[in-house]
Amino acid sequence: MVVGETLRNRYRVLSLLGQGGFSETYLAEDLDLPLHPKCVVKYLKPKSPDPEILSLARRMFNTEAKVLQRLGDNHPQIPTLYAFYEQKGEFFLVQEFVDGHDLMDELIPGQGLAEPVVVEMVRDILEVLAFVHSQNIIHRDIKPRNIMRRHADRKIVLIDFGAVKEVGSLTLDAQGNTAFTVAIGTPTYMPSEQANGKPRLSSDV
């Protein structure tokens, strides 16, 4: 995927927002709507082209996309899922663009935050997580970069759910069995049970 490309004759790619081992995230605009509103396109490419891997990745992708749709449709602080599709063995998610900044911009080394500010921030994050966990979903990559503050209302928005990333990390082991190449999450924020492949709801806290 390249800047300037138009996906499905609808979503024109504007810029790269970020990338990881198995995915890339782009800012795009929706050409089907009058004002060409911005959206986010997440592109995932499975590590292995093996047909068995692609089949499993497809099932996982469809399952996780439906989870994201359910979460986004039922909570204002989780991005809405607009579309998800597969094209030539590659997978795409189109989500609501959150106009805001991530919490890394608020956590400045050497500068503390006032207690009321911290209490309000933590409460807002926990309220969103409580909803996610009530759906029996584990985010698996809670960190400042994945917590946005929306400019319009200053509310916290939770982005980049980790489960979808598993689609890209699928491969075959030496015995021909499907396996994940990495534990999903960010090592410096990941609890031990998650690093060992056994995340729980409490792993997000």
**CATH code (residue 100):** 1.10.510.10
Q: What is the mean pLDDT of residues 91-119?
A: 93
**Residues 22, 35: contact at Cβ < 8 Å?**
no
Q: Could you give the dihedral angle defined by the CA atoms of residues 51, 167, 182 and 94, in that order, rounded to the nearest 10 degrees? A: 150
* Residue 55 belongs to some domain of the structure: yes
Write the single-letter amino acid at 125: I
Q: 12-21, 58-67, 156-165: which has the highest mean pLDDT?
A: 12-21
* Residue 1 belongs to some domain of the structure: no
Query: Residue 162 and residue 47: Cα distance in Å, rounded?
Result: 16
Of the candidates 30, 92, 132, the one whose C-alpha atom is nearest the C-alpha of residue 146 is: 132
DSSP for 71-108, written as a single string: HHHH-TTSPPEEEEEEETTEEEEEEE---EEEGGGT--
The 3-state DSSP class for residue 4 equals coil
Is the predicted pLDDT of residue 169 greater than 60, yes or no? no
* Residue 182 belongs to some domain of the structure: yes
Other C-beta atoms lying within 10 Å of the C-beta of residue 81 = 19
**Domain limits for position 164:** 6-204
Catalytic residue among 30, 102, 124, 141: 141
* Residue 113 belongs to some domain of the structure: yes
Contacts of 122 (CB under 8 A, 6+ apart): none
pLDDT of residue 161: 82
Q: Is 102 a catalytic residue?
A: no
pLDDT tens sequence across 45-86:
776 777 877 777 787 788 888 888 999 999 999 999 999 998
- Mean pLDDT taken over the chain: 86
Query: Residue 133 and residue 204: Cα distance in Å, rounded?
Result: 9
Q: Which residue has the higher pLDDT, 37 or 53?
A: 37
Q: Residue 170 — very low, low, confident or very high, per pLDDT cuts 50/70/90?
A: very low
Is the predicted pLDDT of residue 193 greater than 50, yes or no? yes
**Residues 10, 85: contact at Cβ < 8 Å?**
no
Give the position of tokens 């503050």.
149
State the total domains in the chain: 1
Secondary structure element (H or E) that encloses residue 133, with its range: helix 115-134
Query: Residue 22 and residue 60: Cα distance in Å, rounded?
Result: 15
